[in-house]
A = this chain, B = another copy of it.
């Protein structure tokens, strides 16, 4: 056990694309829990695209991370010292402990993880916030139906990889868009996609043509994670009454591609003439659906109807570069950082 608290703080706000210079590693003595608190050592740290928004000082879901504060993240951790009656040494817990080797907590927003159900890292992925996001977006927001055609962008990402599998289980025609031949092969072979298009190999025009060909009856649901040219390629294929579940727009997070983005009037016109419903959502509004999600998807993970893939960076120091890679699509599956030893792994 390390006797130092190590954490990564936001050193400066990025102008456009962030770099490792925007982060700084700090260390100090390990804190001791006060009455009602526990101390946990972080095992798994989750990296997610939404963190890019936290680095900016503009209006978003939540307050930005302040300069000098620890970067936010959901983590799986082990309680190593406790003065809180609800948490005992050895408990495996999930909470917002940040980009950090250890954290003090009073238990607010922390839930215990049962290592018997699945590997504990899945609490950050397929059975965690990304999985919950996939499930809510597909069912509650898009109200996807059997027999419909869906396009999923970032098809092999933490969210998209579950959207595709759940859509197929539901009896939909499932088209993915991902970056690179390897990801596309994985999507078709392991994630049950009927077809996955490689946006690295296709320019905007070719991608639009490929989607039109892949969805001869049109697209009923677009599960939107990226914005950019994928959005622009899907818009013309949307059917009357189609739904766009707007979950993310990673292609535009750092201000890239804004100048040559599709003009708003073209999209507005399609929403009007095709009577589309475009709905933004964020999982923090849907915690009431967590039990229903776990009840539905937990058994699918256990019995293998649904699979998942993780991309693991080793050690807290690797978090900033892994995060930058994630923003560029360099991850393959749910991006995690292994901060400490996993007792089960």
Q: Which residues of A contact B (CB under 8 A)?
A: 53, 59-61, 227, 231, 246-249, 252, 257-259, 261-265, 267-269, 271-282, 285
Contact = CB atoms under 8 A, between A and B. Distances in A.
A243 to B, nearest CB: 9
A228 B274 CA distance: 20
A227 B272 CA distance: 11
A9 B111 CA distance: 70
Given A227-B268, A264-B262, A268-B252, A276 B279 contact: yes
14 contacts: A59-B273, A60-B273, A231-B268, A247-B272, A249-B269, A252-B268, A262-B264, A264-B264, A272-B280, A275-B280, A276-B278, A277-B277, A277-B279, A278-B279
Contacts of A259: 263
A1 to B, nearest CB: 40
Given A275-B285, A277-B278, A280-B272, A265 B59 contact: no
A265 B252 contact: yes
B264 A273 contact: no
Contacts of A252: 265, 268-269
A272 B249 contact: yes
Contacts of A274: 280
B272 A261 contact: no
Name the 4 nearest CB pairs between A and B, nearest first: A272-B280, A271-B280, A278-B278, A252-B265
Given A263-B258, A265-B252, A267-B264, A281 B275 contact: yes
Nearest to A276: B280
Contacts of A281: 275
Contacts of A282: 272-273, 275
Contact of A264 (B247, B261, B275): B261
Contacts of A59: 273
A222 to B, nearest CB: 12
Contacts of A276: 278-280
Given A249-B272, A257-B265, A273-B280, 15 more contacts: A59-B273, A60-B273, A231-B268, A249-B265, A249-B268, A258-B263, A261-B263, A263-B263, A264-B264, A271-B280, A272-B282, A273-B282, A275-B285, A276-B279, A278-B279
Given A261-B263, A264-B264, A246 B273 contact: no
Contacts of A268: 227, 231, 246, 249, 252
Contacts of A273: 53, 59-61, 280, 282
Contacts of A279: 271, 275-278
A60 B282 CA distance: 32
A201 to B, nearest CB: 24
Contacts of A261: 263-265
A96 to B, nearest CB: 19
Contact of A246 (B60, B262, B272): B272
Nearest to A282: B275
Contacts of A231: 268
Contacts of A246: 268, 271-272
Contacts of A258: 263, 265
A249 B264 CA distance: 11
